[in-house]
Amino acid sequence: MAVNQVSVFLENKPGTLNQMTEVLANGGINIRALSLADTNDFGIARLIVNDVYEATNVLKEANFVATFTPVLVYAISDETGGLNKLLKNFTAANVNVEYMYAFAGKKNAYMIFRVKDTKKSEALLAEKGLKSLSQEQIAEV
Amino acid sequence: MERYFQEEIECAPREKILAIQNEKLVAQVKHVWDNVEYYRKKMQEKNLTPDDIKSVDDLYKLPMLSKADLKAAYPYGLLACPLKDCVRIQSTSGTTGKRVVAFYTLKDIDIWEECCARAIVAAGGTNEDVCQVSYGYGLFTGGPGLNGGSHKVGCLTVPTSSGNTERQIMFIMDLSATILCCTPSYAAYLGESMKEMGLTPEQIPLKAGIFGAEAWSEEMRRDIEKTLGIKAYDIYGLTEISGPGVSFECSAQTGMHINEDHFIAEIIDPNTGEVLPEGTQGELVFTSLDKEAFPLLRYRTRDICTLTREKCSCGRTHVKMTKPKGRSDDMLIIRGVNVFPSQIETVLMKNGYAANYQIIVDRINNTDTFDINVEMTPEMFTDNVAEVQNRKKVLESGLHSMLGIKAKVNLVAPKTITRSEGKAVRVIDKRKI
């Protein structure tokens, strides 16, 4: 099951990132993971949150441009070679990674992957025995 | 010693000029009535026939034309000659994407070039001079106009066109160019570049510059004169009427003489259209007296200026206009190019962005900077940096091809563009001219 990531457009000037976190905090949104893509002109914040619908609602009300993006989340064991083992399966399944980031849960570490054709990639990886986490599972880990 | 290209006409007594204007106007109104249905209808709506126009005193009766008429009649609606007699077009940007296309017969080009020749001679040019024309050649009137004028004076003409600064400087130095024609901002840029190369005003062979197509201050003039070691002259014109040379500056440098044997100038109140007395500031309106192919009567330039008929120390008798002080519409002139906010709006909408934008124009190191703040929309946003950048590039190239100059697009968050009284502030012009 793909998970919905919230992607947010940020102007490249001081304070915009903080404005976003302020809006999310006031909206009672917990950020589980965050990655920031930046250019000279603008930034894109990518968030995994506990409540994607509420998060986009409060962001839109505060005049942020925010969209959903499907991503795949896999658990890895927090030990040497954990990520390497996971990525070997990506290679074997011939799945290309557009970008990725990580967060630490209570037990495991989790990797978030943005791939081109999410459904197809997920199926290919499933054939290698990899099971991606669902939105509900993410909230609990 | 002041020199003239056509002394007998440039220094003619007022009565003689008036007589020429009366005669040409009567003939021109008839020419337009006979050949331009669009204008004939406008005259008929006012119950006018050519018989009602007997002299310049009757000019105020004629209907006025504006950019909106040029758009409505685009492309051939205001053409007054069979196509077989037309030999060229020149073009400038219109209000919403449709361009202004002006037509010329051989005679029209001849008169236009004559006007430019008067400007070059007023700047001290003779057939001994090497005249480098660094205005753009092509649809823009700057290059072709000054090129023709330079030929008429007999200068050795160097048609470098705009851009390629290194090559411009090479020609100025190697050929010992004495006259430079370009936009004032480009002249300033050339001056700075030459200074950086270690060239002193004494080493630079130039002695005069003819600079126009955009607003420039007295301070900028002194700057350019100092770095290049020249005397800098202003020139004014517009494609609709012919091109550069509608008016030009003389040695007095206190306004531009309008070539009154070819054009009648009026100043009107931009709100009421009423003709204002000489010496009052208002919108400049031109009537082409002898254009064959594209004869516009009472064309509203939207430029705000003042006309003065005080005796000029140069000996010329033609009326002088001040540098335009601004516009009565929202047109901007950026790096010599006409830009209408409505054009930007058209491109934004076409590319999926909101029509909410802000233009920021500034002048840094004598060169215009042109930024457009565009609000991001959910439609144009994705989580992919390359994709967002690519869409921005597509927008920038769409703007470039619509406007003819490059603008820097800054993507901003929605609803961040300043609004005053519920209306967005579309243009911030920080230039101090």
Question: How close B409 gets to chain A, by Cα (Å)?
Answer: 9
* Cis peptide, bond prior to residue B75, ω within 30 of zero: yes
Length of chain B equals 433
Q: Residue A42's beta-bridge partner residues?
A: A11
Say if the Cβ atoms of B383 and A67 lie within 8 Å. yes
B127-144 tens-digit pLDDT = 999 999 999 999 999 999
B chain contacts of residue A46, beta-carbon cutoff 8 Å = 383
Report the alpha-carbon distance of residue B329 to residue B144 in Å, rounded.
27
B87-123 tens-digit pLDDT = 999 998 766 567 899 999 999 999 999 999 999 999 9
The shortest CB-CB distance from A39 to any of B381, B382, B389 is to: B389
Report the alpha-carbon distance of residue B393 to residue A39 in Å, rounded.
14
Angle between helices A16-26 and A52-61 (to 10 degrees): 120
Say if the Cβ atoms of A41 and B392 lie within 8 Å. yes
> What is the C-alpha end-to-end distance of chain A, expressed in Å?
15
Number of H helices and E strands in chain B, helices first, is 11, 23
- In 3D, which of B9, B10, B137, B70 has the Cα closest to residue B297? B70
In B, minimum Cα distance to A37 occurs at: B385
Say if the Cβ atoms of A44 and B416 lie within 8 Å. no
A chain contacts of residue B352, beta-carbon cutoff 8 Å = none
Say if the Cβ atoms of A44 and B411 lie within 8 Å. no
- In 3D, which of B413, B406, B429 has the Cα closest to residue B356? B413
What's the pLDDT score for residue B97?
62
- In 3D, which of B97, B104, B94 has the Cα closest to residue B66? B94
By the 8 A CB rule, do A114 and A71 touch?
yes
Give Dmax (Cα) for chain B: 73
| CA distances to B254, B364, B371, B410 from B430, in Å | 25, 10, 12, 17
- In 3D, which of B125, B171, B106, B117 has the Cα closest to residue B145? B117
Mean pLDDT of A54-83: 92
Chain B within 8 Å of A41 (Cβ-Cβ)? Answer: yes
By the 8 A CB rule, do B375 and A64 touch?
no
Neighbours of A48 (CB within 10 A): 24
Report the alpha-carbon distance of residue B246 to residue B284 in Å, rounded.
12
- For domain A71-140, say whether CATH 3.10.180.10 is its number: no
Domain spans in chain A, listed from the N-terminal domain onward: 3-69, 71-140
Say if the Cβ atoms of A41 and B412 lie within 8 Å. no
What's the pLDDT score for residue B419?
56
- In 3D, which of B261, B306, B411 has the Cα closest to residue B351? B411
Tell the CATH topology of A3-69.
VC0802-like (3.30.2130)
User: Which is it for the CA torsion B406, B408, B411, B412, positive or negative?
Assistant: negative
A chain contacts of residue B411, beta-carbon cutoff 8 Å = 9, 11, 41-42
Say if the Cβ atoms of B383 and A65 lie within 8 Å. no
DSSP string, A54-108: HHHHHHHHTT--EEEEEEEEEEE-SSTTHHHHHHHHHHHHTPPEEEEEEEE-SSS
The two structure tokens encoding residue B335: 């790096």
What's the pLDDT score for residue B422?
46
Give residue B19's Cα distance to chain centre. 28
Say if the Cβ atoms of B382 and A65 lie within 8 Å. no
Whose tokens are 């009602």? That residue is B52
Report the alpha-carbon distance of residue B90 to residue B94 in Å, rounded.
13
- Between positions 49 and 108 of A, the ones with CB within 8 A of B are 63-67, 69, 98
The shortest CB-CB distance from A67 to any of B378, B415, B416 is to: B378
Q: Is the pTM for the entire model greater than 0.80?
A: no
Say if the Cβ atoms of B381 and A65 lie within 8 Å. yes
Interface contacts (A, B; CB < 8 Å)? 51
Query: Residues of A5-22 as b/e, b for ≥16 C-beta within 10 angstroms?
Result: bbbbbbbeeeebbeebee
- Candidates B383, B389, B396, partner chain A, best to mutate (most A CBs within 10 A): B383
A3-54 tens-digit pLDDT = 999 999 999 889 999 999 999 999 999 999 999 998 888 999 999 999 999 9
Say if the Cβ atoms of A7 and B414 lie within 8 Å. no
Domains plus CATH for chain B? Answer: 7-20+57-327 (3.40.50.12780), 333-429 (3.30.300.30)
What's the pLDDT score for residue A135?
87
A chain contacts of residue B389, beta-carbon cutoff 8 Å = 39, 41
The shortest CB-CB distance from A63 to any of B381, B385, B414 is to: B414
By the 8 A CB rule, do A68 and A4 touch?
yes
> Strand (E) positions, B69-117?
86-92, 100-105
B chain contacts of residue A39, beta-carbon cutoff 8 Å = 385, 389
Running along chain B, 433 residues long, what does each successive block of 10 average in pLDDT? 94 97 98 98 97 97 95 96 98 75 98 98 98 95 97 98 93 98 89 91 97 83 94 96 97 96 97 93 96 98 93 96 85 86 83 84 90 90 91 94 90 76 71 76
What's the pLDDT score for residue B96?
58
Say if the Cβ atoms of B381 and A5 lie within 8 Å. no
Report the alpha-carbon distance of residue B147 to residue B242 in Å, rounded.
14
Q: Residue B337's beta-bridge partner residues?
A: B334
For residue B214, what is the DSSP state?
S
Say if the Cβ atoms of A44 and B389 lie within 8 Å. no
By the 8 A CB rule, do B334 and B359 touch?
no
- Candidates A4, A42, A46, A63, partner chain B, best to mutate (most B CBs within 10 A): A42
Chain B within 8 Å of A18 (Cβ-Cβ)? Answer: no
The SS3 assignment for B333 reads: strand
Say if the Cβ atoms of B385 and A64 lie within 8 Å. no
Angle between helices B184-196 and B218-228 (to 10 degrees): 40
Length of chain A equals 141
By the 8 A CB rule, do B34 and B3 touch?
no
Give residue B396's Cα distance to chain centre. 25
The shortest CB-CB distance from B385 to any of A5, A11, A44 is to: A44
Report the alpha-carbon distance of residue A119 to residue A115 in Å, rounded.
9
Say if the Cβ atoms of B381 and A16 lie within 8 Å. no
Say if the Cβ atoms of B381 and A7 lie within 8 Å. yes
Neighbours of B400 (CB within 10 A): 13
For residue B47, what is the DSSP state?
T
What's the pLDDT score for residue B421?
47
User: Which is it for the CA torsion B253, B254, B258, B260, positive or negative?
Assistant: negative
The shortest CB-CB distance from A64 to any of B388, B389, B413 is to: B413
The shortest CB-CB distance from B411 to any of A16, A41, A67 is to: A41
What's the pLDDT score for residue B312?
96
- Between positions 20 and 39 of A, the ones with CB within 8 A of B are 37, 39
In B, minimum Cα distance to A98 occurs at: B384
By the 8 A CB rule, do B314 and B2 touch?
yes
Neighbours of B371 (CB within 10 A): 15
A chain contacts of residue B353, beta-carbon cutoff 8 Å = none
The shortest CB-CB distance from B381 to any of A5, A37, A67 is to: A67
| CA distances to B354, B380, B391, B396, B405 from B350, in Å | 10, 12, 12, 12, 18
DSSP string, B226-294: HHHTSEEEEEEE-TTT-SEEEEEE-TT-SSEEE-TTTEEEEEE-TTT-PBPPTT--EEEEEEESS-SSS
Neighbours of B61 (CB within 10 A): 13
Question: How close B412 gets to chain A, by Cα (Å)?
Answer: 6
